[in-house]
Structure 1
Amino acid sequence: MSTDTATHTWPQLAGGLYDALTGRNAEITYDFQNMEVFVPAKTGGENVEHAHWKLQGVLKIRTQDLSGQA
Structure 2
Amino acid sequence: MSTTDTDAEIDETQTWPELAIGLYERLTGRGAEITYEFEDMEVDVPDKVGEDADHARWRLDGTLTVRTSQNDD
TM-score range, shorter chain: 0.5 to 0.7
Note the aligned Cα RMSD (angstroms).
Answer: 2.4
Q: 1:52 is matched with which residue?
A: 57
Q: Which runs of 5+ in 2 are unaligned?
A: 1-7
CA distance in 2, matches of 1:44, 1:31: 30
Greater share of residues in helix: 2
Greater share of residues in strand: 1
CA distance in 2, matches of 1:64, 1:44: 33
CA distance in 1, matches of 2:17, 2:36: 12
Which one of 18, 21, 24 corresponds to residue 24 of structure 2? 18
Q: Is the 8 A contact 2:32 2:69 kept in 1?
A: no
Structure 2 SS opposite 1:11: helix
Size of the alignment, in residue pairs?
A: 63
Spell out structure 1 runs of 4+ moving beyond 3 A.
Answer: none
1:7-55 alpha-carbon deviations (Å, 9 max, x no partner): 122221111011112232211111111110111132112x433222223
Q: TM-score, normalised by structure 2?
A: 0.63
